[in-house]
Amino acid sequence: MPPKLRGSSFRYLPVGPAERDWGIHVSAAGAFAIPPGSPYPLPAPRTYRFRYERGRVMPEYAMVYITRGRGVFDSRETGGRPVTPGTLLLLFPGRWHRYRPDPRTGWDEYWVCFDGEHVRDLQQRGFLRPQRPLHHPGVDRRLAGLFLEILDALRSGRLGSAQVAAADTLAILARVISEARRVRPVDRRAELVIRRARQIIVRSAAEPLRVPEIARELGVGYSWLRQAFRRHTGLAPAQYHAQVRLHQAQEMLEGTDLSVKEIAAALGYDTQSYFSRAFRRKTGRWPTQWRAACARSSAGPHGRTKP
């Protein structure tokens, strides 16, 4: 098991023609120790900063390896997914995503940002798939060591260090690809069924969840669907349904002028008070507090809303 991180650091590297000609190049790397209750994310190069409420779209690839603590990952392809120790997040250019540690646990993360013709060719050939950004190599000292070697190479600035960092990044990618290709055909079929089940839940989020009806529509058994859903998403169908409604509520509070009562009704909650309590239980804020915080974050330096 990797030792617990005691501090946080990062380095970034200007990328020139020599690095690009290698086929894979590293632009930044870091190791962050996030104690429980700490703000997130920590300071980083401007290109890699983001607010969880808005998420982020990056111009390049990144890998984030979690070795301690828990949290959540969210993307348009996957929806909300739990992050546990030993999870590796593979982030793709041009794809919206967001992630953060659970404030109760914090987490330790190792990360690297990279790009190149070789990486994009791997994605084009189907070895790297935006539909599967979460991988589970487990908590591995050697894997964490590769991330630290990348960070050390960027720190050193020695001749050839960019190629060393690129080679270590490719070694990590090889681990990710190997883990992904071990998925059995039966699991690939289950993944397709679960994807369709998620789509149904998202489409009918404002309606009561009826898992038996979804199972019949997909041609599978009720018990099998519940077990497979939890195995592939980390959440029970009811938990996923609640999370989808929460995300939709957040979007409506930020992007519409509907009242809290109207939003509660639109999302199928029986009463405004029940919706407000559920929202606060999941986010730590009342709906009105969430809306006010979103308004403040989008205001310009003189209090005007940013374009």
Domain assignment present for residue 40? The answer is: yes
pLDDT at 254: 87
Domain assignment present for residue 2? The answer is: no
Domain assignment present for residue 66? The answer is: yes
Q: Which residues of the chain have pLDDT under 70?
A: 1-8, 42-49, 180-187, 297-307
Domain's final residue, options 234, 259, 274: 234
Query: Are residues 56 and 126 both part of a single domain?
Result: yes
pLDDT at 45: 52
pLDDT at 283: 84
- CATH code of the domain containing 245: 1.10.10.60
pLDDT at 48: 56
Query: Are residues 52 and 192 both part of a single domain?
Result: no
Could you tell me the two tokens for 160? 């050839």
Query: Are residues 30 and 126 both part of a single domain?
Result: yes
pLDDT at 306: 42
pLDDT at 284: 87
Query: Are residues 305 and 207 both part of a single domain?
Result: no
Query: Are residues 240 and 224 both part of a single domain?
Result: no
Q: Which domain holds residue 169?
A: 9-181
Q: What's the predicted TM-score (pTM) here? A: 0.59
pLDDT in tens, 144-173: 999 999 999 988 878 888 899 999 999 999
pLDDT at 148: 93
DSSP string spanning the chain? -PPPP-S-EEEE----HHHHTTS-EEEEEEEEEE-TT--SSPP--GGG--BTTTBB--SSEEEEEEEEE-EEEEETTTEEEEE-TT-EEEE-TT--EEEEE-TTT-EEEEEEEEE-HHHHHHHHTTSS-TT--EE---S-HHHHHHHHHHHHHHHH--TTHHHHHHHHHHHHHHHHHHHHHT--HHHHHHHHHHHHHHHHHHHTTTSPP-HHHHHHHHTS-HHHHHHHHHHHHSS-HHHHHHHHHHHHHHHHHHH----HHHHHHHTT-S-HHHHHHHHHHHHSS-HHHHHHHHHHHTB-TTSPBP-
Domain assignment present for residue 115? The answer is: yes
Domain count, the chain: 3
pLDDT at 157: 78
pLDDT at 193: 92
Query: Are residues 174 and 287 both part of a single domain?
Result: no
Query: Are residues 202 and 66 both part of a single domain?
Result: no
Query: Are residues 177 and 194 both part of a single domain?
Result: no
Domain assignment present for residue 261? The answer is: yes
Domain assignment present for residue 3? The answer is: no
- CATH code of the domain containing 106: 2.60.120.280
DSSP string spanning 246-298? HHHHHHHHHH----HHHHHHHTT-S-HHHHHHHHHHHHSS-HHHHHHHHHHHT
pLDDT in tens, 199-257: 999 998 889 999 999 999 999 999 999 998 987 777 899 999 988 998 899 989 988 89
Instruction: Tell which residue, 39, 41, 37, has the closest CA to residue 49.
Output: 41
